[in-house]
Amino acid sequence: MAVEIDTSAFTEEAYELLSELEDSLLELEERPTDIELISRVFRAMHTIKGSGAMFGFDEVAKFTHEVETVFDMARSGTLPVTKALIDLTLAARDQIRSILDASRGGPPADQDNANRIISGLRALAPQKGGAAATETKAAAAPKADAEGPHVYRVRFEPKPEIFSSGTNPLLLLNELRDMGQCRVVAITNTLPSLEELDPERCYTHWEIFLTTTQGENAIRDVFIFVEDDCTLNVRLLTREEEQEDAEPKKLGEILLERGDINEEALGKALTPLGDRLVNAGVVSADKVRAALTEQRVVQEQKQQQTKAAEVDAVVRVPSTKLDKLVNLVGELVTVQARLNQISGRLNNQHLQLVAEEIERLTGELRDNTMSIRMLAIGSTFNKFKRLVRDLSTELGKQMELTTAGADTELDKTVIDQLNDPLVHIIRNSIDHGIEKPEVRKAIGKPLVGQIHLSAVHSGTSVLIQVKDDGKGLDAQLLRRKAVEKGLLSPDAVLTDQEAFMLIFGAGFSTAEKITNVSGRGVGMDVVRKSIESLRGTIDVQSELGKGTTITLKLPLTLAIIEGLLVGVNHDYFVLPLAAVEECVELSPKDIANSHGRRIVNVRGEIVPFIRIRERFAMDGERPIIEQIVIANVDGRRVGFGVDTVVGQHQTVIKNLGGSFQYSDEFSGATILGDGTVALLLDLARMVRYVEMQETKETGGA
């Protein structure tokens, strides 16, 4: 059958399965006798193989088949799970990924590597019959979990839209045929008239009577890839018949059990028989009634289970559709703000009621939509287990990665962009932080270094921490290196905290030699930029000899934030509300007292401020009383001088166009209720640029 196949459905699923496979293998390394884990690994590979074959990824299917064959021996207990097996299976997992990447335009997969992996795996397998035996076993379907041949009734009802995912149900039927003697009956009673028929929907379902020595699990495995797209019922028919007291089923029982007639119809048909039996004194009327009730209860229970399964079903939606939904909700929030403004101005009670109701609904819709985009960070954490494992081997260090808060949810966009910075930080911790085992032993530390990765919600932010028990950062050394590299003037005074932040400077590295892992001084700079582009901040705590903790503070979402709307002249700006601490007034007297410096005295504390009007060379006269919004920027209090503080504003963030690519003091824009555009300020960048400018001016003076 030549159905147009959407291979992206397979590749996306396969990438997920490979990720699961990796997690399971790493867990299996810790618990090599865990049968459930071995089965999980096997099932992941079996699904990749089956779906690969179904979608025409023959190379994936063929290669995975070889790996699966060896792993099947582990499943059956004939091959122990060893580090060598895990290493090779992890390498196989990477090879499958390479093949998939190649199919998406990546570099071609290394066939020699594939051969090496297969040879390695075969060498591990017990040599009974050698490769030929492996081949024979591989050709067979998964191991039987039932004794003797049994007849199963498999009811397979694909969802009507199954074709759109590229699935060809006939290939699944053929896979069942490989398991034994198979009779397939197509049920077409829901087939509409030709006029009403949508050619791209599946109206057919099947009843398959399969005589096989394999068990129910093996049958279900065939449908793993489509389990969300079908209703599947597998019933062992012969075992029931084998029961000593079981009599062959009556036609009525079979029809009822199969759902071909309902109990009401059967009841009507049986009543005369029941009556006759009752009249003949063979059975009591109660017993007939009880038998019918038993049938009904069992059937209702079945229906409820099916319904529950349907309710729990997960719908997979392309993220682009979700992005579009978020954009539309963003537009709605803007329009709703406009409606509020208009209703307030018109002072019409009826209109205000409607506006309030729409405000409530919009709020709920916004929260719901944002919650759909939230993903647990656990999947990102799991990737690092492999990273730590591989780097341990590469660097000859012993390490253990522990995680906490894997179920902490973050916006999908944030999670997507968080992977690379975290990789850099963890690599850095392993390379620079954790000492070699002999060093750790000499200083009385446990041989195995610890890296703890955690995530926790903190208000509207998420704190992600990477904590190691390595040698810690040496503030003096960092200062010296910075001066040597000309990144810091020799007479600069830095606190330890500020010195720690030097590691995020461009071109800064204290590594004595450059390794594959780190030392080029680009990684941590990239980390800082990436985190800032996510409107996040970085904090470093370190104690020499004890370890380092790097904390990333990230916003929960990038699409809508709470902002503080401020006005300068006739323009508006938004400051992220999470950073704002307070607002104070700046009177002419305060200005006079500061003797030309841009500082404000807040209850005895001197706080520097940046006047937005001056920063952006805006026209217009300053008001007599200015407003200073004090925000926490990288751990310091900095003020921002504005004309007016309008108030809290639900900010739907829009990206700025290409013409703003060099204006990175703005991290986006938003549209106000009346259509005016307000720019969202990137406070950290703004402060940094002002400081750089002042340093330059001072130096030049």
Partner 1 sequence: MIDFSVDDTGSTGTLILSGPLTIQHALSLKETLLKVGGDVKHLILNLDQVSSLDLTALQMLCAAHREWVKKGKKLTREGNVPDIVNRVVRESGFTGCLENDDVIGLWTGASN
Find the binder of partner 1 among 4, 312, 407, 605 (CB under 8 A): 4
Q: Answer yes or no: 428 catalytic.
A: yes
Find the binder of partner 1 among 83, 128, 194, 701 (CB under 8 A): 194
Cβ-contact 58, 5 below 8 angstroms:
no
Cβ-contact 100, 14 below 8 angstroms:
yes
The reply on whether position 188 binds partner 1 by CB under 8 A is yes
Of 169 and 421, the one with the shorter C-beta distance to partner 1 is 169
Find the binder of partner 1 among 12, 200, 240, 390 (CB under 8 A): 200
The reply on whether position 1 binds partner 1 by CB under 8 A is yes
Find the binder of partner 1 among 55, 71, 152, 163 (CB under 8 A): 163
The reply on whether position 233 binds partner 1 by CB under 8 A is no
Cβ-contact 436, 423 below 8 angstroms:
no
Q: Answer yes or no: 46 catalytic.
A: yes
- Count of residues engaged in binding partner 1, rule: CB under 8 A: 28
The reply on whether position 174 binds partner 1 by CB under 8 A is yes
Q: Least distance in Å: CB of 211 to partner 1?
A: 16
Residues 6+ positions from 109 with CB-CB distance below 8 Å: 59, 95, 98, 99, 101, 102
Residue 527 carries which DSSP code?
Answer: H
Cβ-contact 584, 630 below 8 angstroms:
yes
The reply on whether position 213 binds partner 1 by CB under 8 A is no
Q: Least distance in Å: CB of 3 to partner 1?
A: 5
Residue 393 is encoded by which pair of tokens?
């081997």
Question: Considering only residues 12-41, where is the footprint of partner 1 by CB under 8 A?
Answer: none
Residue 13 to residue 96: CA distance in whole angstroms: 13
Residue 443 to residue 439: CA distance in whole angstroms: 6
Q: Least distance in Å: CB of 167 to partner 1?
A: 10
The reply on whether position 169 binds partner 1 by CB under 8 A is yes
The reply on whether position 536 binds partner 1 by CB under 8 A is no
Of 63 and 206, the one with the shorter C-beta distance to partner 1 is 206
The one catalytic residue in 68, 435, 626, 665 is 68
Residue 264 to residue 577: CA distance in whole angstroms: 64
519: left (phi over 0), alpha (psi -120 to 50) or beta: left
Longest alpha-carbon distance in the chain: 119
- Closest alpha carbon to 624 in 602, 645, 643: 643
Find the binder of partner 1 among 39, 168, 217, 417 (CB under 8 A): 168
Name 606's bridge partners.
601
Of 171 and 342, the one with the shorter C-beta distance to partner 1 is 171
Find the binder of partner 1 among 113, 204, 594, 632 (CB under 8 A): 204
Of 177 and 685, the one with the shorter C-beta distance to partner 1 is 177
Residue 586 is encoded by which pair of tokens?
């700046």
DSSP result, 402-442:
EEE-TT-EEEHHHHHHHHHHHHHHHHHIIIIISPPHHHHHH
Residue 399 to residue 392: CA distance in whole angstroms: 6
Residues 6+ positions from 46 with CB-CB distance below 8 Å: 68, 142, 221, 224
The reply on whether position 173 binds partner 1 by CB under 8 A is yes
The reply on whether position 202 binds partner 1 by CB under 8 A is yes
Q: Answer yes or no: 419 catalytic.
A: no
The one catalytic residue in 29, 382, 428, 435 is 428
The reply on whether position 493 binds partner 1 by CB under 8 A is no
Of 206 and 508, the one with the shorter C-beta distance to partner 1 is 206
The one catalytic residue in 22, 29, 46, 150 is 46
Chain residues in the site for partner 1 (CB under 8 A): 1-4, 163, 168-170, 173-174, 177, 184-186, 188, 191-195, 197, 199-200, 202-204, 206, 208
Catalytic residues: 46, 68, 428
